[in-house]
Amino acid sequence: MNILVNNEIVKFSHDDFPMLISGEPSAGSSFFSIELMVSLFKNGEKVMLFSAYEQAKKLFKEQVGDSINENALIVESGDDNLFMAQLNNISEKIILFKNIDNYNSGLFEKLKDNKLVIFSGDLDQCKFKNELLRKEFKTNIFFSYPKCIEIKHKIDLPKYCGHIINNKYNGIIKVDL
């Protein structure tokens, strides 16, 4: 599995964070978010995964297989209190806060100053989208274009592909299976 931008293999570094991944349901943003975390983990990064749904944890574990170790912290699905407690032990972990549209601003407030964070979900349905949009992201990836912000130079998005915008890339991003 590789992540491709404009059909070229890419590897993300700490310079690409914080990151926003937005998409409507069934657009591909959820699958991409998990595959990105798998890629980061396999490249030696410490990761922390928090999702409202069990399927995300299951997919991550399936993709990582026997190589899962202490560098991957997977928080019980939907347990935001446990997630907040675990945030005290993050030491250089890249955090995926998935399904942002299912939570209130409490978790955002706890994470907003972290550099190594990915906020992923349906931006239009997010209860704290105004606060989130004030945050400066190094990388923005849209699997569908949200109505709540203006995106310049939109491109037609093939199914399960996103539009990445950062200082290195501007184009189509996808998972090559």
* Domain of residue 145, CATH code: 3.40.50.300
Q: Tell which wins on pLDDT, 84 or 22.
A: 22
Please give the average per-residue pLDDT across 167-173, as a whole number. 96
Please give the average per-residue pLDDT across 14-32, as a whole number. 96
Mean pLDDT estimate for the chain: 91
Tens-place pLDDT, residues 107-153: 899 889 999 999 999 999 999 999 999 999 999 999 999 999 999 89
Q: Tell which wins on pLDDT, 83 or 59.
A: 59
Range of the domain at 103: 2-176
DSSP helix, strand, coil percent of the chain (3-state; round to 5): 35, 25, 40
**pLDDT for the residue 89:** 66
pLDDT of residue 29 exceeding 80, the answer is yes
**pLDDT for the residue 121:** 96
- The CA-based angle 167-169-172, given to 5 degrees, is 150
Q: Kindly tell me the burial class for residue 15, based on how many C-beta atoms sit within 10 Å of its own C-beta (0-12, 13-18, 19 or more).
A: exposed
**pLDDT for the residue 159:** 93
**pLDDT for the residue 77:** 63
Q: Tell which wins on pLDDT, 73 or 45.
A: 45
**pLDDT for the residue 169:** 94
Please give the average per-residue pLDDT across 55-69, as a whole number. 89
- Could you tell me the pLDDT band of residue 12, with boundaries at 50, 70 and 90? very high
Total structural domains within the chain: 1
